[in-house]
């Protein structure tokens, strides 16, 4: 308990006052913009967006003309060599990640979204359709608007047979993400943007066929994803869509899970995983590919391939030697390691890395390991040049709010589940809970978990892509340099 209190105190002390004031100011301005939008009873999302675009185009034009030369920070060699971490270089309207507060969707925190966005039932989890509306318009939708959007997405959710045939051409043991990305690429045949571009559409209208592609894509990926799941794990017995269910509820249903609690979990899961600003691999990849005027299908398929990489879902900080006291939390996990092993398969990378590490500890030290033995094993791991996965986040410096809302869900629905007891460590991230909740309700095929993440991320990536086209954002083309150039530059800098 003393350790956790110390962590909390140190986290508060290390926050820089000036940075926080600036961030709060930015968030407040964003939130004020949301609240001052004209309230409309219009149920058509396209019409609402069309009204907003001219104003935001002028906003961007003014920002560029009046402040285009304002510096946003200094670029260091460490940033260039370190994956551009900490380098501000992208415009991403739909969400902003604060290291201390976590993600905000159009200025709204996850608790605010849970409180204000419409739900399927009173006191329930937010509907993903509501978040889609919020990301695109900056407005909190009414229940009637969300119901209309949900109906529209169901009407758009028509997947041609050749998509399933393309997936069926793959071996059944192909990774679920390979099959999912293949299905998305097959959907590209029906791209409205590609047709419009080939017919000479004016660039000021690019956003409209992009909007059509994006909503079609968002509507169809749950069908493709559930087909992959049923093909691999359920003998190919496909479950059709239920016209009376919402987006998250239908996804759960098509996967084969009809309990009200699982449907609520899927609504929460899709909502909180939908967007995480633009610098992560999948979001940045989608934006980068789209900047070449590739259509949403091509762009999102590229994003999925980035999402499938072992380091994307991992997104954890290495356990440094001065964090060695964190091993007490690992000891807690090892007490129940036999439960973790039941998940089997190859889970989403973040979970997979944690489980592999735990398995290696159990193999070498046995299950009844002492804290001292575990401490020695952690040092052994670090001294071998490897990392200990499972703690923290690449950007966040406090508990991930996506973890917190899932923990609250678990406290409400499964407080005594033994797996739930495992996910307590000093800086838990979203992966600390996702697998536990899914496993509890029967979705135990952890190798498939990244596909769930991919379906969720379609909402955020496609929302921003529509705004990319509406704002006329250019081709992304940063400058690269060689090590020789860096050495010469640094030498000249030192001489001056």
Q: Per-residue pLDDT for 452 more than 60?
A: yes
- Contact partners, residue 475, CB within 8 Å, separation at least 6: 291, 292
Please indicate, yes or no, whether residues 391 and 250 belong to a single structural domain of this protein: no
CA dist list (Å): 160 to 70, 199, 235, 242, 409: 49, 24, 21, 18, 37
Cβ-in-10-Å burial (0-12, 13-18, 19+) of 482 comes to: exposed
Averaged pLDDT, 352-381: 71
The secondary structure of residue 109, as a DSSP letter, is E
The yes-or-no answer on residue 312 being catalytic is yes
Q: Is residue 24 in some structural domain?
A: no
Per DSSP, the three-state class of 419 is coil
Query: Could you confirm whether 431 is annotated as catalytic?
Result: yes
Four-residue CA torsion sign, 294, 298, 301, 302: negative
Q: Residues 234, 336: one domain?
A: no
- Tokens 């003309």: give the residue: 65
Confidence of residue 412 (pLDDT cuts 50, 70, 90): confident
- Each residue of 228-260: pLDDT tens digit? 999 999 999 999 999 999 999 999 999 999 999
In tens, the pLDDT along 146-182 reads 999 999 999 999 999 999 999 999 999 999 999 999 9
Structure confidence at residue 404 as a pLDDT band (50, 70, 90): confident
Same domain for 161 and 202, yes or no, is: yes
> In terms of residue numbers, what domain contains 268?
150-313+460-471
Least confident segment among 258-262, 275-279, 317-321, 354-358: 317-321
Residues 13 and 496: their CA atoms lie apart, in Å, by 36
With respect to residue 400, please indicate whether it lies within any of the assigned structural domains: yes
- Average pLDDT value for residue range 62-74: 95
Neighbours of 304 (CB within 10 A): 29
Element (H, E) at 105: strand 102-105
Whether residues 166 and 301 fall in one domain: yes
Q: Is the pLDDT of residue 129 over 90?
A: yes
pLDDT digits (tens, 9 = 90+) for 275-290: 989 999 999 999 999 9
194 in a structural domain: yes
pLDDT band at 415 (very low <50, low <70, confident <90, very high): confident
- 282 lies in the same domain as 233: yes
Q: What CATH number should be reported for the domain holding residue 442?
A: 1.10.230
Cα Dmax for the chain: 71
Per-residue pLDDT, 384 = 86
Question: Catalytic: which of 393, 400, 433, 468?
Answer: 393
Shared domain check, 213 and 349: no
Give CA–CA dist 327/321, Å, rounded: 11
Asked whether residue 481 is domain-assigned, the answer is no
150 CB contacts (<8 Å, ≥6 apart)?
A: 127, 129, 246, 247
Of 98, 275, 431, 468, the catalytic one is 431
Question: In degrees rounded to 5, what are phi and psi of residue 102?
Answer: 90, -165
The Cα–Cα gap between 466 and 464 comes to 5
CB 271 within 8 Å of CB 95: no
Alpha-carbon dihedral sign for residues 13, 17, 21, 26: negative
Shared domain check, 308 and 333: no
Long-range contacts of 484-489 (CB under 8 A, 24+ apart): 486/77, 486/80
Q: How far apart are CA 344 and CA 301, in angstroms?
A: 27
Rounded distance between C-alpha atoms, residue 437 and residue 447, angstroms: 15
* pLDDT at residue 342 is higher than 90: no
Task: For residues 430 and 392, give the distance between their C-alpha atoms in angstroms, rounded to a whole number.
Answer: 9
Q: Are residues 330 and 298 in the same domain?
A: no
Residues 206 and 253 in one domain: yes
Residue 253 lies in a domain: yes
Residue 331 scores a pLDDT above 60: no
- The pLDDT assigned to 207 comes to 98
CA 279 to centroid of chain Cα atoms: 11
Q: Are residues 289 and 427 in the same domain?
A: no
CATH of residue 271 = 1.10.580.10
Cβ-based neighbours of 300, under 8 Å, separated by 6 or more: 184, 217, 286, 458, 461, 462
- Residues 282, 325, single domain; the answer is no
Number of structural domains (the chain) is 2
CA distances from 5 to 404, 428, 487 (A): 17, 15, 44
433 flagged as catalytic: no
Would 382 be classed as within a structural domain?
A: yes
Write phi, then psi, for 105 (nearest 5 degrees): -95, 110
Residues 295 and 403 in one domain: no
Distance from C-alpha of 98 to C-alpha of 495, rounded to nearest angstrom? 38
pLDDT tens digit string along 465-494?
Answer: 999 999 999 999 999 999 999 999 999 999
CA-to-CA distance for 35 and 32, rounded, in angstroms?
5
Q: Does the pLDDT at position 326 exceed 50? A: no
- Residue 455 · residue 248 · CB < 8 Å: no
Helix axes 207-233, 296-307, angle to 10 degrees: 40
Catalytic residue among 312, 400, 433, 468: 312
pLDDT for 395 beyond 60? no
What length does the chain have?
496
pLDDT at 446: 82
């Amino acid at each position: 308990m003393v350790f956790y209190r110390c962590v909390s105190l140190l986290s508060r002390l290390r926050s820089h006052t000036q940075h926080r004031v600036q961030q709060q100011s930015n968030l407040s301005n964003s939130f004020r913009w949301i609240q001052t939008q004209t309230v409309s009873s219009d149920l058509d999302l396209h019409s609402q967006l069309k009204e907003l675009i001219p104003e935001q185009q002028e906003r961007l034009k003014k920002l560029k003309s009046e402040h285009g030369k304002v510096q946003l920070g200094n670029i260091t060699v460490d940033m260039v060599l370190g994956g551009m971490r900490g380098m501000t270089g992208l415009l991403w309207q739909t969400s902003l990640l604060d290291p201390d507060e976590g993600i905000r969707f159009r200025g709204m925190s996850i608790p605010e979204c849970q409180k204000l966005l419409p739900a399927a039932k009173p006191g329930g989890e937010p509907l993903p359709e509501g978040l889609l509306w919020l990301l695109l318009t900056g407005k909190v939708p009414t229940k009637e608007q969300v119901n209309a959007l949900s109906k529209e997405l169901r009407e758009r959710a028509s997947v041609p047979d050749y998509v399933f045939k393309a997936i069926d051409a793959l071996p059944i043991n192909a990774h679920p993400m390979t099959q999912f990305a293949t299905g998305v690429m097959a959907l590209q045949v029906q791209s409205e943007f590609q047709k419009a571009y080939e017919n000479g559409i004016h660039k000021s209208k690019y956003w409209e066929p992009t909007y059509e592609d994006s909503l079609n894509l968002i509507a169809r990926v749950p069908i493709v994803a559930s087909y992959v799941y049923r093909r691999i794990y359920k003998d190919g017995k496909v479950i059709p869509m239920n016209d009376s269910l919402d987006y998250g509820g239908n996804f759960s249903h098509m996967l084969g899970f009809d309990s009200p609690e699982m449907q609520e979990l899927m609504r929460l899961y899709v909502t909180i995983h939908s967007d995480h600003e633009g610098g992560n691999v999948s979001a940045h990849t989608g934006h980068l590919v789209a900047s070449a005027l590739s259509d949403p299908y091509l762009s999102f398929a590229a994003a999925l391939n980035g999402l499938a990489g072992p380091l994307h879902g991992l997104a954890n900080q290495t356990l440094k030697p001065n964090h060695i006291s964190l091993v007490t939390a690992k000891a807690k996990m090892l007490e129940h390691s036999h439960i973790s092993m039941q998940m089997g398969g190859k889970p989403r990378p973040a979970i997979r890395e944690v489980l592999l590490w735990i398995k290696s500890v159990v193999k070498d030290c046995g299950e009844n390991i002492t804290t001292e033995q575990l401490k020695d094993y952690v040092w052994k791991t670090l001294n071998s040049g490897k990392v200990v996965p499972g703690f923290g986040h690449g950007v966040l410096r406090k508990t991930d709010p996506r973890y917190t809302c899932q923990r609250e869900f678990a406290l409400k629905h499964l407080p005594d589940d033994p797996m739930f007891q495992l996910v307590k460590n000093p800086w838990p991230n979203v992966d600390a809970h996702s697998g536990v909740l899914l496993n509890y309700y029967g979705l135990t095929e952890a190798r498939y978990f990244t596909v769930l993440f991919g379906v969720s991320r379609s909402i955020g990536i496609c929302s921003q892509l529509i705004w990319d086209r509406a704002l006329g954002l250019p081709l992304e083309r940063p400058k690269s340099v060689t090590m020789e150039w860096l050495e010469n530059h640094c030498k000249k800098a030192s001489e001056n």
